[in-house]
Amino acid sequence: MDDPRQNYTGLIVPADHLLDVAQTLREDLGFNYLSSVTGVDLIDDNKMEVVYHTYSIDKGGSAVVLKVQVDRDDPVVPSLTPAWPGADFQEREAWDLLGIRFDGHPYLKRILMWDGFAGHPLRKDWKEAFYEEEKKPFGSRWPGGDVYRAETLNPYGRNVKYPGGWLPDDLAIDTDAEVYAGLTVSHPSYMKTDTVTVNLGPQHPSTHGVFRMVVTLDGETIVDLKPVMGYLHRNHEKIGERNTWLQNIPYTDRLDYLASMCNNHGYVLAVEKLLGSSVPERVEWIRILMAELTRIANHLWALGFLLNDLGALQTPMLYFYIERELILDFFEAAAGSRMMCNYMRFGGLAFDLPKVVREQETMSFLRELVDERLPRAMEEWRRLVEGNEIVRARSIGVGYLSPEDAIAMSCAGPLLRASGVPYDVRRAEPYSYYDKLDWDVAVRYNGDVYDRLLVRLDEMEQSLRILRQVLPHLQATAGGPIFDGKPQYSIRVPKGGDAYGRVENPKGELGYYVTATPKGSNPERYHIRAPSFINLTALGPMCLNHKVADVVTILGSIDIVLGEVDR
């Protein structure tokens, strides 16, 4: 049945019918892509809810949203991993942070918290170590301004909860036992060999941050691999539910910190749906300008590091950075910051475009960047990379991912499109003015590291094609409004409800699921569908039967940022 709550969307499905409904959606109706799985704590109703966003890869369009509600005291939901392996990490996250158990999940263990952690920190009745209040602005800051430190009322040492029965003597517990238990290896009966399990990371330059891969080897051949993450987990979503709506905009900068403009974009789209906001024309063009420049800057970074992973240390990477620096100069002039831009607002932008960038008139700077410098650099990058003998030898046929597996594992972005799946949110469910622009979805068909490299080069060329169409609109709308009405600092959602906003970020679909009570000034639920996190689902299968040195390359070809993986 339809969700009966005011301004909520989706279908409420009984838990015991979920598998049948999911099977029908996938097999009969073509909704073969499970994009997002969100756990929600409905504490006032003593229920836990799981929200699924499913899409049709072939038809595009909006989601069919399924919701399951179960008893909060014993929340058990059937696992959708048999139908959609892409549910794997997302269900583990909901178990870890909210305590929702997924019956039938093959490997239901914590994924962001450590094994010995007590409790589930996204539950509404869970309190962090220096807890002050449920919602910001805290009374100690506003309206009286009677500021005190949280530690004054909640001193260090008395603010930590320990599991019942826990004694310091238990410190010898092996918290990795479950990780290693998940590695199952069969040996060929005709040969007696020993396998060895080793850790790559967490502190290693080839892991692109604090990230660990537990790898079982037969000689140098990978026979099993499990990603281990969470070292930078900071309970981002809990903090986001304490924040006001506006306070979360700079907070989204810290997810994929190479793509803060795009992170802002997805979040404001989700909240604008709740608010029913309209956006001035100039704002939409500027948002696309920022998003496509971010895509180019991100791919330059990704390709530079991928070459690093292939053994071409530093020099090629620095070649890729020359033009990226110009893009960051522009962001700094527009937003005041090169990376943590905090630039977009609900219904508008923080600022209009600057008058000058690097002492050059802004439109002149952008035309030179888009029409001359970036095309010239791209031609050079292709010449240096595409036919390079070492690049081809190390990447062609390595880390293969079939289109069927890419869809089933909920992969997104260049990882999905390099496997021959031409799915891009900008085309499948257009937002801003992408439907008014002439461009192609970049796609490659071999599903290996080499095609992931090429598809990013292709995407940068399409971004330039988009930018050339955007610049005349910026000229035509100069002086136009950059806000719908007056800027609001205290945002309230009049009728409450839920909304899902998604954008095609450089690393894939970035989605925000938000809910609000009527006149709510803070999100009740703030969930992020993070492409870096979900794309790692495919890492293990892609590495099987490759050598240790290939693992580094395959991980680099996914292009992850740990701020977004761990949140």
Helix (H) or strand (E) holding 376: helix 374-385
Specify whether the CB–CB gap between 556 and 309 falls below 8 A. yes
**pLDDT at residue 248 is higher than 80:** yes
Q: Is the dihedral of CA 18, 23, 28, 29 positive or negative?
A: positive
Q: Is the dihedral of CA 554, 33, 98, 41 positive or negative?
A: positive
The pLDDT of residue 333: 95
β-strands 221-228, 203-204 pairing = unpaired
Residue 145: both structure tokens together = 């301004």
pLDDT in tens, 369-400: 999 999 999 898 898 888 888 999 999 999 99
DSSP string, 145-211: -----HHHHS-TTSS----TT--GGGGG--TTHHHHHT------TT-----EEEEE-SEEGGGTEE-
Specify whether the CB–CB gap between 255 and 139 falls below 8 A. no
Residue 343: both structure tokens together = 């630039």
**pLDDT at residue 170 is higher than 90:** no
Query: What pTM was estimated for this model as a whole?
Result: 0.90
The pLDDT of residue 118: 83
Across 171-180, 192-201, 556-565, the highest mean pLDDT is recorded for: 556-565
pLDDT in tens, 286-323: 999 999 999 999 999 898 888 888 888 778 888 888 88
Buried b (16+ CB within 10 A) or exposed e, 408-422: bbbbbbbbbbbbbbb
Neighbours of 509 (CB within 10 A): 29
**pLDDT at residue 480 is higher than 60:** yes
